Amino acid sequence: MLITKRVEFSASHVCRSPLLSDRENQELFGAAANPYGHGHNYAVEVTVEGNPDPVTGMVMDLKKLKDVIHREVVEVYDHRFLNHEVPPFDHIVPTAENIAIDVWQRLDLHLSKDGSRLHAVRIFETPDLYVDYFGGAA
Ligand code: NI
């Protein structure tokens, strides 16, 4: 069984790769490469897989799930300029894809125990664009 918790945060970012020249960044990312940054209202959907506990009836303690996501993700990302304040985005482009990988790595150890397992991280950068990450090879 899968259970999904959704949270939101606001953050700004610059889409610019240090491995590319200024011109290449401009051609690839356009206005999103502007070094002053721009903001998004992100949504994160964290899906945990497991079987309902015979006593509690829950895949995992929902309060614990909420607390872990807030502590490990929302408090880290919310109202931050990702490129300057949230490693590894000082050297990795903070695309939705890379944010999904980072969120997975922040949550996996906390959620994959006691019979449950992190199944998916979905990052909405805008209401009509999202990425899904299932762990493993990026
Ligand atoms: Ni953007």
Q: What is the DSSP letter of 2?
A: E
Q: What mean pLDDT comes out for the span 77-94? A: 97
d(CA 73, CA 88): 13
pTM of the model: 0.95
| 15 CA → ligand 1 middle, Å | 7
| 54 CA → ligand 1 middle, Å | 44
CATH at 37: 3.30.479.10
pLDDT at residue 44 greater than cutoff 90: yes
| 43 CA → ligand 1 middle, Å | 13
Instruction: Please state the domain count of the chain.
Output: 1
Q: Is residue 85 part of a domain?
A: yes
Q: Band of the pLDDT at 138, cuts 50, 70, 90?
A: low
d(CA 115, CA 53): 9
Terminal Cα distance for the chain, rounded: 24
Please write the tens of the pLDDT for every residue from 107-116.
999 998 878 9
Structural domain for 93, as ranges: 2-133
Please write the tens of the pLDDT for every residue from 17-36.
999 999 999 999 999 999 99
pLDDT number for residue 113: 82
| 84 CA → ligand 1 middle, Å | 15
Q: Is residue 138 part of a domain?
A: no
